[in-house]
Amino acid sequence: MSGQKMDLTGKVAIITGSGTGIGRASAVLLAQQGADIVLAGRKEGPLDESAGQVRALGRRASVIPTDVKDSDACEALVARTMEEFGRIDILLNNAGGSRAKSLDAWTLADFHDMIALNLTSVWVLSLAAARHMRGTGGSIINISSMASLRAVPHSAPYGVAKAGVNNMTSVMAVDLAPFGIRVNCIAVGTIKSEGYIRAMERMGLDPDVSGAGNPMGRPGLPEEIAWPVLFLASDASSYVTGQTLAVNGGMALRP
């Protein structure tokens, strides 16, 4: 019975930022459970690689290059998914990112860029997808960050945007619950993604231990976020909505 709760056969998932890291790991895991995957992101090459892994599992994969900062492109992503698959059951708002700058170095343009990438995109995509989930139900999952829950130096606009994602998650959960749509969030800690590895190597640091900042003393793996994504995407979490789940190796336990 427990395995049936995780079964996504016949489901269609849109995953943004699915060319690498958490997005790719989630795409593969959801495909392993039977879902067809729409892969969205800025760079087509990595998306094609992710699509190849999904297709190798016998599932359909569609690559739709999308800059999530472009609201029209977000709407087009949802529209094309409906044209190709006829349904949307799962939306994983994973695309995002930040830069580290001193407070005075952040320009107003930088601030708006962070909001567009990490917050506005989630708003636009969630509303667009929810229009097609009404009646049939669905699950919207937002990837947030521990920067939304604690003060991370040099990352103010990013933290503000992700805190907005947390609040948006709970408000949308209330508004969409009558339509059978669940909305949840995962606030991740340090994850050993390709970008993280490159950053650590540029600083001459060991990516397996540096920068984790948690009691476990290591960064998480993308697959360790994909499993909570699967839980929230599936019927295993049928009574869970409006939650921000911290997956961070215990980072929140430290002052």
pTM summary value: 0.93
Q: Which residues pair with 37 in a beta bridge?
A: 13, 61
CATH number assigned to the domain with residue range 2-253, chosen from the 4 options 1.10.10.10, 2.40.50.140, 3.30.420.40, 3.40.50.720: 3.40.50.720
Predicted confidence at residue 254, as pLDDT, reads: 64
* The pLDDT of residue 1: 42
Closest CA to 92 of 165, 177, 179, 147: 165
Enumerate the β-bridge partners of residue 12: 36
Cross-strand bridge partners of residue 181: 138
Sheet containing 244-247, strands listed edge to edge, beginning at the edge strand earlier in sequence:
61-65, 36-41, 12-16, 90-93, 138-145, 181-188, 244-247
State the Cα–Cα distance between residues 245 and 211, nearest whole angstrom: 21
254, with CB counted inside 10 A (0-12, 13-18, 19+), is exposed
Are 49 and 125 contacting, i.e. CB atoms less than 8 angstroms apart?
Answer: no
Phi, psi of 6 (to 5 degrees): -90, -5
pLDDT in tens, 77-120: 999 999 999 999 999 999 998 888 888 899 999 999 999 999 99
Catalytic residue among 11, 62, 139, 162: 162
Arithmetic mean of pLDDT, 137-145: 96
Q: Which of 18, 144, 145, 237 is catalytic?
A: 144
Q: What is the average pLDDT across 178-185?
A: 98
215: its two tokens = 């009691």
Active-site residue among 26, 158, 192, 196? 158
**Average pLDDT of the residues of the chain:** 91
162 flagged as catalytic: yes
The yes-or-no answer on residue 69 being catalytic is no
The question of whether 158 is a catalytic residue gets the answer: yes
Token pair 């040099």 is found at 154
Report pLDDT digits (tens) over 31-81.
Answer: 999 999 999 999 999 999 999 999 999 999 999 999 999 999 999 999 999
